[in-house]
A and B are shown apart, each in its own frame.
Chain A
Amino acid sequence: MVKDRVKILMAKPGLEGHWRGMTIVSSALRDAGYEVIYGGNMLPPEIGQTAAQEDVDMVGLSILSSNYMRLVSETLEELRKNNKDDVTVLLGGIIWESDFAALKHMGIAGIFTPGTPLQDIVAFVNTKTAAQPSR
């Protein structure tokens, strides 16, 4: 079966409760024609399982509580366990520049801190997805 739309899972690993950033990015991606699954707060194993079940092409993570090194590493590990290590993983939220290199080395494709114009995020996703979204 050929998927007609690029599927993106948006999730906040852990339990920190600020959802504003992730909601607005999710809306922008949906408006750009992507199929967005809004997961809300999810634990890393749930992210891995959902990514596999829904066969997503991309995972967007949002973290504002400074424990991202641990949560990102756990989430990437869960994606691997679920044979989803081929998905593109993006990270948004409060991320310190001093950690960018380490995060990219771990496998994060793009990092977006607060104040990033939404169109920049959408443009980044466009270039990362080979299949053009179609409605």
Chain B
Amino acid sequence: MTANNEDQIKSASGIPIKDLYIPNDIKDIDYDKEIGLPGQPPFTRGVYQTMYRGQLWTIRRLSGFNTPEDTNNLYREEYELGQTGFSIAPDISTASGMDPDDPRVVSDVGHAGAPIYSLEDMETVFDGLPIERVSTFLADRVGGLLTPAYFIMAQKRGIPMDQVRGTTANDLCTWSSMELANQPTPHTFLRMSVDLIEWCAENAPRWYPISMNSYNPRDNGITAVQELGMLMATVIQYIEEAKRRGRVPLDKFVRRFAFNMAVHNDFFEEICKLRAARRMLLKIIRDRYGIDDPKCGQLRVHVQSSGSTHTHQEPLNNLVRIAYQVMAGVLGGAQSIHANGYDEAVCLPTDQSMLLSIRTEQIVALETNVTNTIDPLGGSYFVESLTNEIEERAWDFVKKIEEVGGMAQAINTGWIHREYKAAIIDYERKLRSGEINVVGVNKFRMEKEPHSIPIFKPDPKSADILVERIKRQREQRDNAKVTKALQNLEEVVRSEENTFPAIMEAVKAQATPGELAAIPLKVYGPWTYPIGV
């Protein structure tokens, strides 16, 4: 039963979609092997046996602004409104590994996230917040200060290292997807991020030291299929590196992987992407690397509504887009969700939009009843068929990346950035031709913006406060101790040893973000960002 025009309708990734799916479309699927039960391999229907009936996803907004004090107030407010996890978005200087008085970054201090330059700043951000009960995501740079500062803070609060809960971003794809100052080369990045994974595998059993992240790459214009392929190629890259180093048993190493993916506009494709992702990870862990413990192949994923789908025009429309994207994340079985602010194509979220994003998740969780049964779309002729199709195409993309030498090499040579660029150009072409519809932009566009929304403006005084503070820190600390810690760090970076303990020591000695970032750059040299015209 097919319609004449079936070739003409395609998913956002370009997968042809039929007018109707029937039992014949899934007749070759072996239910037990390919779908199975939730909580059991291959985890297509979910990583946990009880899914949302047992525990709802974590509501976790990536946020922060102005100063550590203002960020603390924001986190307290989010927590009171029912947010169930924290997530630090670093400001530009923190993300770039620069002190706020570095002349290169003065204009950017306190912008686009929370400035955290010391243990004291970290303690200010979490003052009065129950980190013993609530987990935190840190969008830390590799070899950065956020993870060590968080660990030291937890120790000072008397939380044993094996009880500290959270995630460090720490992934190659995320950081190389944006142009940032002080970026180490991809291979340096890989080495130092594996150092953290190995350290946590031995010392911090409830911490996820890496979040394999395809969210940011996705916003560079690639499709759901490419996103999934990149994600899995990254997993393979990290396992290969751990194997090569041979310091931590592989099962222990892969057990610490967390995931972070996008939820975009094509509703069913996004749901199927999440289902396919779980199955693909299990296949990599079990079939490719022979790790039999099914717990090692569980893809626990945080999803975020795709910023690149949000429009500057008629920003309130984004609220609707975000709600559908959150719903796709839920029907796809995510463990943690960030609903963006509807105003994020205009400014950092205001209080109003922060409230709305928490409420969006709560409404989906508590009012729609989609959580009543596990994987409600499982078994759908269309959904199972599309899940297979996405998986198959994503493996092809994994193969392409492996053919150019694996993920680190694909980034290093600029191959992946050429993919981004081609995708961006293709997206713009489709936008112009009308193959892609964006309401309010290329469809039903209004000449004049009909309604204005409140706009968040960063506090211009933040930078001065932060500059004063870091000057005081440099004056008051024991500089001999800092120098010694940094010299030790440099020696360790030059050796094959794990760098994380030396970074912890340097942070304890109050080394600054700029001092920490300078060392790998000195040893390995800077990286030239592979994007151009």
Q: Which residues of A contact B (CB under 8 A)?
A: 10, 12-20, 23-24, 26-28, 30, 36, 38, 40-41, 43, 65-67, 70-71, 74, 94, 96-98, 113-115, 117-119
User: Known contacts A66-B347, A114-B345: does B424 contact A16 (CB below 8 Å)?
Assistant: no
Q: How far is the CB of B233 from chain A (nearest CB, A)?
A: 21
User: Given A10-B533, A14-B107, list of 17 further CB < 8 A pairs?
Assistant: A14-B92, A16-B112, A23-B531, A28-B428, A36-B533, A38-B532, A40-B531, A65-B92, A66-B112, A67-B108, A67-B111, A96-B455, A98-B455, A114-B345, A115-B441, A118-B428, A119-B432
Interface digits, B509-533 against A, CB 8 Å rule (1 contact, 0 not)? 0000000000000000000010111
Contact between A94 and B92 (Cβ–Cβ < 8 Å)? no
Q: How far is the CB of B449 from chain A (nearest CB, A)?
A: 7
Which residues from B are CB-within-8-Å of A19?
178-179, 531
User: Known contacts A16-B92, A66-B348: does B449 contact A97 (CB below 8 Å)?
Assistant: yes
Contact between B107 and A20 (Cβ–Cβ < 8 Å)? no
| A114–B219 alpha-carbon span in the complex (Å) | 14
Q: How far is the CB of A11 from chain B (nearest CB, A)?
A: 12
B interface, over-half SS: loop
Contact between A27 and B425 (Cβ–Cβ < 8 Å)? yes
| A12–B108 alpha-carbon span in the complex (Å) | 12
Interface residues of B in 402-453 (CB under 8 A from A): 421, 424-425, 428, 432, 438, 441-442, 449
Contact between B533 and A15 (Cβ–Cβ < 8 Å)? no
A interface, over-half SS: mixed
Listed residue (B105, B220, B313, B346) with the most chain A CB atoms within 10 angstroms of its CB: B346
Q: Which residues of B contact A (CB under 8 A)?
A: 92-93, 95-96, 98, 103-105, 107-108, 111-112, 178-181, 219-221, 308, 311-313, 345-348, 421, 424-425, 428, 432, 438, 441-442, 449, 455, 457-458, 529, 531-533
| A40–B531 alpha-carbon span in the complex (Å) | 8
Which residues from B are CB-within-8-Å of A36?
533
Which residues from B are CB-within-8-Å of A43?
103-104
Q: How far is the CB of B399 from chain A (nearest CB, A)?
A: 26
Residue of A nearest to B183 (CB): A17
| A69–B311 alpha-carbon span in the complex (Å) | 22
Residue of A nearest to B179 (CB): A17
Which residues from A are CB-within-8-Å of B105?
14-15
